[in-house]
Structure 1
Amino acid sequence: MTTTITARTVEYPADGLTMVGHLALPAGAGRRPAVLLGPEGMGLGDVERRRADALAELGYVALAFDLHGGRYLGDPEEMLARCLPLLADPDRMRGIGHAALEVLRAEPRTDPDRIAAVGYGTGGAVALELGRGGVDLRAIGTVNATTTGRPGEAARIRCPVWAGVGSEDPIMPPAQWNAFTAEMRAAGVDWRLTVYGGASHAFHHPPVDHPTVPGVGHHPQHARRAWRDVVALLAECLPVTGDPGA
Structure 2
Amino acid sequence: MTTTVTTRTVRYPADGLTMVGHLALPAGTGRRPAVLIGPEGPGLSDAVRERADALAELGYVALAFDINGGRWIADPQEMLARALPLLDDPERMRAIGHAALDVLLAEPRTDPDRIAAVGYGTGGAIGLELGREGYPLRAIGTVNGLVTGRPGEAANIACPVWAGVGSEDPIMPAERRDAFAAEMQAAGVDWRLTVYGGAQHAFHHPTADHEVLPGVAHHPRQAARAWQDVLALLAECLPLGEQAGRAS
Q: TM-score range by the shorter chain?
A: over 0.9
Task: Report how many aligned residue pairs link the two structures.
Answer: 246
Alignment of 1:180-219 (within 5 A): 180-208=180-208, 211-219=211-219
Pick closer, same or farther for the CA change 1:209–1:143 going to 2, 3 Å.
closer
Residue of structure 2 equivalent to 1:142? 142
TM-score by length of 1: 0.97
1:214 to partner: Cα distance: 1.2
Matched-pair contact (CA < 8 Å) for 1:38–1:120 = yes
SS at match of 2:164: strand
RMSD over aligned CA atoms reads 1.4
Give 3-state SS (helix, strand or coil) of 1:214's partner: coil
Describe the SS at the equivalent of 2:127: helix
Q: Does 1:99 align with 2:132?
A: no
Q: Percent identity?
A: 76
Q: Which TM-score applies when normalising by structure 2?
A: 0.97
Aligned to 2:162: 162
Instruction: Give the secondary structure class of the aligned counterpart of 1:113.
Output: strand
Secondary structure of residue in 2 paired with 1:40: coil
Q: Partner of 2:220 in structure 1?
A: 220
Residue 122 of structure 1 aligns with an amino acid whose one-letter code is T
Between the aligned partners of 1:243 and 1:59, the Cα distance in structure 2 is 15
Distance 2:210 2:218 in 1: 14
Asked whether 1:237 is paired with 2:217, we answer no
Query: Which residue number corresponds to residue 151 of structure 1?
Result: 151
Q: Does 1:177 align with 2:177?
A: yes
CA shift for structure 1 position 245: 8.2
In structure 2, give the amino acid aligned to 1:72: W
Any idea what the Cα deviations from partners look like across 1:78-131, whole Å, max 9, x if unmatched?
Answer: 100100100000000000000001110110000000000000001001010000
Quick one: structure 1 residues 245 and 209, their matched pair in 2 at CA, closer, same or farther if it must change by over 3 Å? farther
Distance 1:27 1:208, change over 3 A: same
Structure 1 residues not aligned, in runs of 5+? none
Give me the whole-angstrom Cα distance separating, in 2, the residues matched to 1:208 and 1:134.
33
What is the alpha-carbon distance in structure 2 between the residues aligned to residue 45 and residue 236 of structure 1?
27
Q: Match for residue 46 of structure 2? A: 46
The residue type paired with residue 135 of structure 2 is V
2:113 partner SS: strand
Distance 1:21 1:235 in 2: 24
Q: Gaps (5+ residues) in structure 2? A: none
C-alpha separation between the residues in 2 aligned to 1:244 and 1:226?
Answer: 31
Q: Which 4+ runs in 1 deviate beyond 6 A?
A: none
